[in-house]
Structures are given as C-alpha cells and as structure tokens.
Amino acid sequence: MDDPQDVGVVASEFATVRVSIDREGNSPRLRLEDLRSGAVRFLDALELESIVWAPEGFLRELLDPSRHRWRDDGSEGGGP
C-alpha cells in the first residue's frame, strides 16, 4: 500500500486543503483532504478534465458554500 505523494497545502482565509496524488486505484488520481473537517475526495483524470471544460457559471454554482457546506439542518441546500 503506497502512501499518497504529497503535493502540498492550498489555503485561503476560507479553506485549507491538502493535495496529494493517490496511486492505489486503477490509475493515479488527485486526493483532496479538507483539513478543517477531514473530508476526503478523489478526482480522476476524467473528472479533472470535466472541471477544466465546465462553463464558468457551473463552477460558480458548484463553489457556493451555502448549497452544501454550511448547513446545519442536514439538507443538501440549493434551490427549491
């Protein structure tokens, strides 16, 4: 079992995320760890390419923290 190859930490006043390369799947993938909560997400090459090609408005909606992150009622947030 290989340890993820650490790339570094990306931080701002709003978030701190550790970025590494995980090689335990079928192919290398990006491992993202929210250092505040410990939540981990893996992104493969296709998912990363999809982010690159997504229209600007899509990313704005995706990055809106009120949709999923900062809710206390257990709902997923978002529209009606």
3-state DSSP helix/strand/coil % of the chain, to nearest 5: 25, 30, 45
Nearest CA-CA partner of 41 in 55, 23, 27, 20: 20
Kindly give the confidence (pLDDT) of every residue in the chain, 80 residues in length, as a single tens digit, with 9 standing for 90 and above: 567 799 999 999 989 999 999 999 899 999 999 999 999 999 999 999 998 998 888 888 877 777 766 655 555 444 43
In whole angstroms, what separates CA 60 from the centre of its chain? 14
At residue 64, the pLDDT reads 78
- Short-list 34, 30, 29, CA closest to 10: 34
What is the rounded distance in angstroms from the CA atom of residue 30 to the CA atom of residue 51? 13
Contact 18, 4 (CB under 8 A): no
pLDDT at 43: 96
Q: What's the confidence (pLDDT) of residue 77?
A: 43
